[in-house]
């Protein structure tokens, strides 16, 4: 009879172990499922927000660097500044004419406003909705630090005040479709007198380009480069290096409209390596001219040696 309690005790112990084992297994599965879900959510945010942020940050850096180059040259500055001033001063009496201008001579200025607002859109989304996203473990704080550095550098006396930057980004949101408005829709907002006022500071930021200190441009470029390098590294996006080679010069020589003296100047860049398209464009402008670079940029990029690192 003594064996009966022992059997009951053994069964009870086995049942307890079974329950504990089941709980441990269930808890492990839940942790695994949460980890998988978190990874999926992080990947979704990377695809929907971080990769587009990297692209638009590169676009913004390229445009800021372009404006910085143009303002250093009197001829290029005098050509550029009226584009931005017209956006501010146009009375919008003929919306069709303004829209035509925005897609013709005024495209540089209008697209600059759009690129800047798109950058603010993605930054505001990340700051507001995903402040603790980890690109890689421990990198969430670093991302916010880089975003903050750019935010501060764009602010200041002739800048876009920090509190307005998120609002400018929000104005581009199509909440019904959960997407960003396109360039045409943005132009329509700028053309509309009642909507335009919301973008007033953004317009003033570029209208006052000739009033800004060189230091502010340096700070904006530096902070954007740091953000781009951080995102590229952590998203595993390869960097492209550019180089003019003997083959580059041979191919460009076939383009009859390129003057011989320009080809001789480009020869001075042969063999030099530039770690970004922006640095490459800067070298081209300094060696040749803004006009030549604008005209022949596609061909030069096509025939240059490009190395993915």
Euclidean distance between CA atoms 290 and 69, whole angstroms: 8
Are both 227 and 246 inside the same structural domain? no
Residue 29 in any domain: the answer is no
- Which among 237, 263, 295 is the end of a domain? 237
Mean per-residue pLDDT for 139-161? 87
In a domain, 2, yes or no: no
Q: 174 in a domain, yes or no?
A: yes
Give me the domain span that covers residue 52.
48-237
Tell me the mean pLDDT in the region 121-132: 81
Greater model confidence, 106 or 17: 106
Whether 211 and 156 map to the same domain: the answer is yes
Residue among 128, 95, 126, 121 at smallest CA distance from 182: 121
Map 28-92 to HEC letters.
HHHHHHHHHHHHHHHHHHHHHHHHHHHHHHHHHHHHHHHHHHHHHCHHHHHHHHHHHHHHHHCCC
Co-location of 193 and 97 in the same domain: yes
Q: Which pLDDT score is estimated for 85?
A: 95
Decide if 111 is inside a domain. yes
Do 213 and 242 share a domain, yes or no? no
pLDDT surpassing 80 at residue 41? no
Residue 265 and residue 184 share a domain: no
User: In sequence order, which residues have a C-beta less than 8 Å from that of residue 242 and are 6 or more positions away?
Assistant: 273, 274, 276, 277, 279, 280, 301, 304, 305, 306
- Asked if residue 18 belongs to a domain, the reply is no
Q: How many domains does the chain have?
A: 2
- Rounded CA gap, 212 and 201, in Å? 14
Which of residues 237, 259, 287 is at a domain's end? Answer: 237
Write the CA distances from 236 to 40, 47, 131, 232, integer angstroms.
Answer: 17, 13, 21, 6
> Residue 230 — very low, low, confident or very high, per pLDDT cuts 50/70/90?
very high
Residues 116, 182, single domain; the answer is yes
In this model, does residue 47 exceed pLDDT 80?
no
Q: Is 6 a member of any domain?
A: no
Q: Which residues are paired to 242 by β-bridges?
A: 274, 306
Counting residues of the chain whose pLDDT is more than 90, the rounded percentage is 55
Which residue, 220, 237, 254, sits at the end of a domain?
237
Residue 153 domain-assigned (yes or no): yes
Same domain, residue pair 217 and 271? no
Residue 237 binned pLDDT confidence (cut-offs 50, 70, 90): confident
The predicted model gives 170-190 an average pLDDT of: 88
308 lies in a domain?
yes
Structure tokens at 154: 């764009």
**Which of 37-51, 62-76, 250-264 shows the lowest mean pLDDT across its residues?**
37-51
Radius of gyration of the chain (CA): 28
286: pLDDT strictly greater than 60: yes
Q: Are residues 133 and 197 in the same domain?
A: yes
Query: Do 120 and 152 belong to one domain?
Result: yes
Q: Which of 212, 231, 42 is nearest to 123 (CA)?
A: 231
**Do 251 and 226 reside in the same domain of the chain?**
no
Residues 186 and 299 in one domain: no
In a shared domain, residues 175 and 62:
yes
Q: Look at 145 and 29; give whichever has higher pLDDT.
A: 145
- Provide, rounded to the nearest whole percent, the portion of the chain with pLDDT above 70: 87
For residue 307, which phi and psi values (nearest 5 degrees)? -115, 125
């Amino acid at each position: 009879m003594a064996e009966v309690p022992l059997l009951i005790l053994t069964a009870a112990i086995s049942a307890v172990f079974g329950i504990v084992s089941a709980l441990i297994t269930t808890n492990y599965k839940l942790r695994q499922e949460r980890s998988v879900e978190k990874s999926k959510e992080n990947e979704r945010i990377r695809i929907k927000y971080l990769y587009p942020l990297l692209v638009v940050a590169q676009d913004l850096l390229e445009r800021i660097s372009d404006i910085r180059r143009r303002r250093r040259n009197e001829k290029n500055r005098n050509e550029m500044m009226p584009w931005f001033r017209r956006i501010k001063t146009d009375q919008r009496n003929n919306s069709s004419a303004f829209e035509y201008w925005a897609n013709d001579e005024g495209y540089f200025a209008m697209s600059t406003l759009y690129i800047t607002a798109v950058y603010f859109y993605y930054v505001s989304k990340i700051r507001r909705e995903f402040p603790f996203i980890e690109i890689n473990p421990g990198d969430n704080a670093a991302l916010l630090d880089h975003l903050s550095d750019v935010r501060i550098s764009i602010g200041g006396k002739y800048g876009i005040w920090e509190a307005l930057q998120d609002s400018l980004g929000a104005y581009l949101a199509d909440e019904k479709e959960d997407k960003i408005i396109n360039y045409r829709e943005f132009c329509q907002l700028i053309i509309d007198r009642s909507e335009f006022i919301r973008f007033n500071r953004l317009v003033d930021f570029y209208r006052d380009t000739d009033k800004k200190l060189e230091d502010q441009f340096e700070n904006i470029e530096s902070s954007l480069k740091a953000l781009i390098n951080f995102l590229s590294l952590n998203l595993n996006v390869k960097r492209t290096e550019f180089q003019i080679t003997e083959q580059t010069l041979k191919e460009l020589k076939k383009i009859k409209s390129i003057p011989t003296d320009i080809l001789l100047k480009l020869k001075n860049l042969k063999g030099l390596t530039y770690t970004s398209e922006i640095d490459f464009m800067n070298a081209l402008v300094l060696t040749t001219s803004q006009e030549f670079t604008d005209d022949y940029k596609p061909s030069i990029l096509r025939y240059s040696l490009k190395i993915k690192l």
